[in-house]
Amino acid sequence: MELYREYLVDERNYTSYEDLKKNFKLKIPENFNFAYDIVDRYAKEEPEKRALVWCDDNGDEKIFTFAQIAEASKKTAYFLTAHGIKKGDAVMLILRRRYEFWWFMLAIHRIGAIAVPATEQLLVKDIEYRNNAAGIKMIVSFDKPTLQQEIENACKSSSTVKELVTV
């Protein structure tokens, strides 16, 4: 399945980079949602197609199909909505290079919330600033005691954060 072709205006071969910059156009649907329009479609039409290969620091890998990613992101979307996240809410993700990042990112797309990816290197003042500037409602992070402490300290002066989730 070459789903990308449905979004191309013109499939011609470009003669140069300048030609590409000048003439390349995509058809962008008014209500495009990556989770529904791409992931769910692949999950329906090619459920066993490899979607993600994730490797940890030890070289171990996990392979996920589109069906698995779609299902995991639907469950994650249910979790988020059950915890009060709705369309337009901002959710900060501090998940390093973990595969759960993709479950949360797609789930956030599904419900129309706003993903705010962040690094574990943020200091209290950085997390606090992002919380207040973006009106973060939930922070999802991986389990690292020093990171959890930074997040908790930042949330003391962040009135919008309602929930902290550790993966």
User: Structure pTM?
Assistant: 0.89
> For residue 149, which of 124, 125, 113 has the smallest C-alpha distance?
124
The ranges assigned to domains in the chain are 3-166
> For residue 140, which of 87, 109, 110, 96 has the smallest C-alpha distance?
96
> For residue 61, which of 99, 7, 13, 113 has the smallest C-alpha distance?
99
Q: How far apart are CA 89 and CA 91, in angstroms?
A: 7
CATH class of 3-166: alpha beta
Residue 11, pLDDT score = 82
List the pLDDT tens digit at each of the 167 positions of the chain.
Answer: 788 888 988 888 999 999 999 999 999 899 999 999 999 999 999 999 999 999 988 999 999 999 999 999 999 999 999 999 999 999 999 998 899 999 999 999 999 999 999 999 999 999 999 999 999 999 999 999 999 999 999 999 999 999 999 99
Q: Residue 113: is it exposed, middle or buried by C-beta count within 10 angstroms (0-12/13-18/19+)?
A: buried
